[in-house]
Amino acid sequence: MSAAITIERILALQARYTRCIDNNALEEWPDLFADECLYVVTTAENHRNGYPSGIIYADTKNMLVDRVTALRQANVYEKQSYRHILGLPNVTKNDDAGAESETPFLVVRIMHDGQTSIFATGVYLDTYRNAGSDLKFGRRIAVCDSSRIDTLLALPL
Amino acid sequence: MSAAITIERILALQARYTRCIDNNALEEWPDLFADECLYVVTTAENHRNGYPSGIIYADTKNMLVDRVTALRQANVYEKQSYRHILGLPNVTKNDDAGAESETPFLVVRIMHDGQTSIFATGVYLDTYRNAGSDLKFGRRIAVCDSSRIDTLLALPL
Amino acid sequence: MSAAITIERILALQARYTRCIDNNALEEWPDLFADECLYVVTTAENHRNGYPSGIIYADTKNMLVDRVTALRQANVYEKQSYRHILGLPNVTKNDDAGAESETPFLVVRIMHDGQTSIFATGVYLDTYRNAGSDLKFGRRIAVCDSSRIDTLLALPL
């Protein structure tokens, strides 16, 4: 029996992730990660050089929950919204030991006054884990192409 | 026997839709809808507040056909073109009673002089219907993120 | 036995293609084409009018390899990077005689100082060929929506 994860399940998880954030259903976001997880937002330059991320680093699920709480208190979502457009996942590994993929992303930011601009582009480096019948992220590293990213808000990408 | 609609058919319908518009094959556009259909373009703010759309509202197939005729008479497509980039559909329901999905979109507008800019972002809220062997939209609500949308042209999104 | 190519394989090839370019793994790019191949970058206007491309034209695999060498010598990738976001492929033909698809693209350019902008949008007109167990492009015509494309660099789209 193959343990390979179907592309259909990978697409579904990717789509649910962006929906959480863009629909302002942030409270559902941590649950898309496995219990043991890593979530990092970094830049291509830092990633290439092996430097630690200067943007977001969370290696427990609780840290993800805390981040949501902080964003709610800051009322970040009152002032702007985001729209993620994902490219096709490139599944780079998929066998008994697990699946890995690279998925390009483009995030557009829409300010309260309607102004729309490209907020970030980059690639998600993901690993997947089966958690019962659900598929979850074991690791998601969002590598931003530009180093000029607005780190003040540190919303999840 | 399950009545669930395959993701493959959903992807194919989504892709055909954007092709109609971006290839300027607008006359094929109404036929992607079921005979009883609803097509609405609105803003996130109006949608959230339950206000009627101020942009496009069509609840018969004839209204879609009329819109194409009007756009042709206005020669809108002489002056500009559009490029839709869709994210992955998030299928939120898929059972005997039918399928529903949410699909993020980004529309880029290319003016006659070559200037390129983000025209709109948002999400399509869709329901699907089987019409013989074809899959069609029962309902498509295009919810635009920004309220600053150029409503003058009212091209189909 | 049907010779139809699965949508899964088409998605995988499309994803690998953008990965090559955006990850700066250009040396792998020619190998995504069949031995007899055609790769063209043109504008919608030229394409519509049947004019030859003014941007890139390569009808042998060697020409693709040469292009990579030239880009390396020009150090183009030191100064900028690209991010391709593809829409869903619209498979317009898929039978014993082969498969064809149209896939919308958006390419964002990220300059060395972090500035991010839309570089090009358009559609890939592709044909596919089985090469042993691999799927490859027989023909890829990248039709850019805008005529105002920066042809100086002529990086592969």
CATH of the domain at C116: 3.10.450.50
Mean pLDDT of B92-118: 90
Which of chain B's residues have a Cβ under 8 Å away from the Cβ of A12? 90-91
Mean pLDDT of A86-97: 87
Q: What is the pLDDT of residues A31-53, one digit of tens each?
A: 999 999 999 999 998 999 998 87
pLDDT band at residue C75 under the 50/70/90 scheme: confident
Whether the CB-CB separation of A117 and B118 falls below 8 Å is answered with: yes
A155 within some domain = no
Rank B30-34, C6-10, C116-120 by mean pLDDT and report only the highest: B30-34
A152 within some domain = no
Which of chain A's residues have a Cβ under 8 Å away from the Cβ of B44? 81
pLDDT computed for residue A153 by the predictor: 59
Mean pLDDT of C2-11: 80
Q: What is the pLDDT of residues A136-151, one digit of tens each?
A: 999 999 999 998 877 6
Return the sign of the alpha-carbon dihedral for residues B112, B116, B120, B122. positive
pLDDT band at residue B154 under the 50/70/90 scheme: low
Going by C-alpha positions, the residue among C11, A65, A83 that lies closest to residue B11 is: C11
Q: Is the pLDDT of residue B55 over 90?
A: no
| Smallest Cα distance from B133 to chain A, Å | 22
Going by C-alpha positions, the residue among A71, A142, A83, A72 that lies closest to residue A109 is: A83
C154 within some domain = no
Q: What is the pLDDT of residues B8-25, one digit of tens each?
A: 899 899 999 999 999 889
Return the percentage of chain C with pLDDT > 90, whole number: 59
What tokens appear for A123 in the block?
């690639």
SS3 (DSSP) at A142: strand
| Smallest Cα distance from A59 to chain C, Å | 26
A153 within some domain = no
C61 within some domain = yes
Q: Is the pLDDT of residue C1 over 50?
A: no
Apex B109 CA angle, B106 and B110, nearest 5: 140
Which of chain B's residues have a Cβ under 8 Å away from the Cβ of A118? 118
pLDDT computed for residue B151 by the predictor: 62
C32 within some domain = yes
Count of domains forming chain C: 1
Q: Using DSSP, how many helices (H) and how many strands (E) does chain B show?
A: 4, 7
B to C CB pairs, distance under 8 Å? 64
Amino acid, single-letter form, for residue C116: T
pLDDT computed for residue A120 by the predictor: 93
A to C CB pairs, distance under 8 Å? 64
Which of chain B's residues have a Cβ under 8 Å away from the Cβ of A117? 118
The pTM for the full model equals 0.90
B121 within some domain = yes
A149 within some domain = no
Determine the structural domain holding residue A104 and report its residue range. Answer: 7-144
| Smallest Cα distance from C62 to chain A, Å | 26
